[in-house]
């Protein structure tokens, strides 16, 4: 079977959900649960990642700026340089975090990611 992944730079969101995420050292650290997309620009703003847990129980979900993920064809997954301490020290999410620009600014600054809205 021919692998089209090297020829195309686009991918359907249903194929991104569930994709493994690896740390800078190549260790599996979680998976992408779902994506958050800006309605006006169409840009992916966050990958909400699942960390830990067993069989879906006890899993924690954290929104990670999309710019902090890079697809690695050798791993068939995404690689990030986000550390466990960065994740644990991330700004606390308000109830409607995806509508709170101050939270977004603090989160993007915390992870050292460029703002998607600029």
pLDDT digits (tens, 9 = 90+) for 58-92: 788 999 999 999 999 999 999 999 988 898 899 99
Q: Which domains does the chain carry?
A: 11-111 (2.30.30.240)
Q: What is the DSSP string of 11-72?
A: --HHHHTT-EEE-TTS-EEEEEEEEEE-TTT--EEEEEEEES-BTTBS-EEEEEEGGG-EEE
pTM of the model as a whole: 0.85
pLDDT digits (tens, 9 = 90+) for 2-52: 444 556 678 888 889 999 999 988 899 999 999 999 999 999 999 999 988
* pLDDT > 80? residue 57: no
Strand order in the sheet with 28-37: 60-65, 44-51, 28-37, 20-22, 77-79, 70-72
Distance separating alpha carbons of residues 26 and 94, to the nearest angstrom: 31
Which structure tokens are listed for 18? 């569930």
């Amino acid at each position: 079977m021919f692998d089209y992944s090297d020829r195309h730079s686009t991918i359907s969101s249903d194929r991104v959900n569930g994709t493994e995420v690896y740390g800078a050292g190549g260790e599996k650290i979680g998976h992408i649960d779902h994506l958050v997309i800006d309605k006006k620009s169409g840009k992916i703003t966050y990958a909400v990642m699942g960390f830990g847990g067993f069989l879906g129980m006890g899993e924690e979900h954290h929104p990670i700026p999309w710019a902090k993920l890079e697809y690695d064809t050798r791993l068939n997954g995404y690689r990030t340089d986000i550390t466990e301490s960065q994740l644990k020290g991330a700004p606390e999410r308000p109830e409607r975090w995806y509508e709170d620009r101050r939270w977004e600014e603090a989160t993007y600054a915390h992870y050292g990611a460029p703002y998607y809205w600029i």
